[in-house]
Amino acid sequence: MKLSRIAEALGCGIPDAAADMEISRMASLASCDENSVVFLADERLAGKAASCSAPVLIVKKGRAVPDKINLEVDDPYLGYARAASLFEDRTPPFGSGIHETALIDASARIDDAVCIGPGTIIGEAVTVGPRTSIGARCVIEKGSLIGPDCRIDSGAIIRYGSRIGARVIIQSGTVIGSDGFANAMDRGRFVRIPCFGNVIIEDDVEVGALAAIDRGNFEPTIIRQGVRLDNLVHIAHNVIVGEHSAAAAQTGVSGSTRIGRHVMIGGQAGFVGHITVGDQSFIGAQAGVTRSVRPGEKVTGSPARDVSRIRRIGAAEVELPALVREFKQIKKRIDSLESTIEKGDT
């Protein structure tokens, strides 16, 4: 790939003589060579970057490294993301077209530009948009709709009636549209409650591997535009996740919870049902969220409380052993004084 293409994608200027330089890959400082481009997010590594083999660096504006071609950007990490996308292999993993072993119902509407891998099953009245790639042994159940330019990785299951927008990525082992966890009790025995809703995933969403998104009871479970869900995330029935929010691995969201826009959720966080998490809030890793969270609020811990308060509690806990020893010493002195006073009264 010519350096000029990378520079154009980042909106950077480069010397005219370097425009036709061939760059073959993104690399780290540890693994780069003379055909690499490296991003420098930590300015403390500038010295190491100056002596590395890579001729091209993505750096923060005004922080150029001597004797290198510098692609200066406002945010080197964002520059890395944009440059890396140019090198991603997006070719279908099992070749173009529809594999001969795929089973496709006659009523399904599959665009001519769709790629489908071996052993995949596509049910009745399914619609798949152009340039979507579906891997091996996927199951797309009846009545589902998948938009254009999606990537459905091998082993994913899209259950009946799901609606998936454009440019959505669903990684291997994930289930979209599983039944919600709903049961009544009759004399000590569970009675299953069926779900009549579906799942709606809007444009530009990415769902990691082995995630599960349950269908709604009556209304849909909705994942709004641009959301990022990591591996092993569970979204229960009737949850709504707002635009451009993100949840790290092993997060679990109970039914009918509303998560706002631009919410950042750390790994292993858990949410009770029927609460609201406000826009632009932050939920720390392993937080147990048992109440609604205000917009912009930062919480962590279990039960989740304000981050600054949790930090003060944590700092105090460090002092607890010394405080306990001091308390015991004081108590011993008080007991001794009381004993002396009692003897004096006698």
Give tens-digit pLDDT for 232-271: 999 999 999 999 999 999 999 999 999 999 999 999 999 9
Encoding tokens for residue 77? 């990490």
Q: Is 113 exposed, middle or buried (0-12, 13-18, 19+ CB in 10 A)?
A: middle
DSSP state of 1: -
Does the structure show a pLDDT above 90 at 287? yes
Distance in angstroms (rounded) separating the CA atoms of residues 240 and 82: 29
**What are the tens digits of pLDDT across the range 130-143?**
999 999 999 999 99
| pLDDT confidence bin for 312, thresholds 50/70/90 | confident
Q: What is the per-residue DSSP string for 94-114?
A: T-SSB-TT-EE-TT-EE-TT-
Does the structure show a pLDDT above 70 at 104? yes
| CATH 2.160.10.10 domain position(s) in the chain | 103-306
Percentage with pLDDT > 70 across the chain: 99
Average pLDDT over residues 119-134: 98
CATH placement of domain 3-87: 3.40.1390.10
Q: Is 182 exposed, middle or buried (0-12, 13-18, 19+ CB in 10 A)?
A: middle
Residue 44, classed as helix, strand or coil, is helix
Sign of the C-alpha dihedral computed for residues 247, 251, 253 and 257 taken in this order? negative
Does the structure show a pLDDT above 60 at 8? yes
Average pLDDT over residues 298-317: 87
Percentage with pLDDT > 90 across the chain: 82
| pLDDT confidence bin for 294, thresholds 50/70/90 | very high
| pLDDT confidence bin for 308, thresholds 50/70/90 | confident
Distance in angstroms (rounded) separating the CA atoms of residues 275 and 297: 14
**What are the tens digits of pLDDT across the range 40-88?**
888 888 888 899 999 999 999 999 999 999 999 999 999 999 999 999 9
Q: Is 255 exposed, middle or buried (0-12, 13-18, 19+ CB in 10 A)?
A: buried
Distance in angstroms (rounded) separating the CA atoms of residues 286 and 271: 10
Annotated active-site residue in 237, 244, 262, 274? 237
Q: Is 25 exposed, middle or buried (0-12, 13-18, 19+ CB in 10 A)?
A: middle
| List of residues 6+ apart from 64 with CB closer than 8 A | 70, 72
Reported as type and span, the H/E element at residue 133 is strand 133-134
Encoding tokens for residue 21? 């330089």
pLDDT recorded at residue 345: 64
Q: What is the per-residue DSSP string for 309-321?
A: HHHHHHHHHHHHH
- Identify the residue with better confidence: 346 or 83: 83
Q: Is 233 exposed, middle or buried (0-12, 13-18, 19+ CB in 10 A)?
A: buried
Encoding tokens for residue 201? 């995933």
Token pair 């950077």 is at which residue? 12
| pLDDT confidence bin for 213, thresholds 50/70/90 | very high
- Identify the residue with better confidence: 314 or 139: 139
Distance in angstroms (rounded) separating the CA atoms of residues 26 and 76: 13
Does the structure show a pLDDT above 80 at 10? yes
Does the structure show a pLDDT above 80 at 128? yes
* Of 77-91, 209-223, 305-319, minimum mean pLDDT range: 305-319
Average pLDDT over residues 7-26: 92
Distance in angstroms (rounded) separating the CA atoms of residues 345 and 157: 84
Name residue 112's amino acid: D
pLDDT recorded at residue 175: 98
Does the structure show a pLDDT above 90 at 157? yes
| CATH 3.40.1390.10 domain position(s) in the chain | 3-87
CATH topology of domain 103-306: UDP N-Acetylglucosamine Acyltransferase; domain 1 (2.160.10)
pLDDT recorded at residue 346: 53
Does the structure show a pLDDT above 70 at 112? yes
**What are the tens digits of pLDDT across the range 163-211?**
999 999 999 999 999 999 999 999 999 999 999 999 999 999 999 999 9
Q: Is 274 annotated in the active site?
A: no
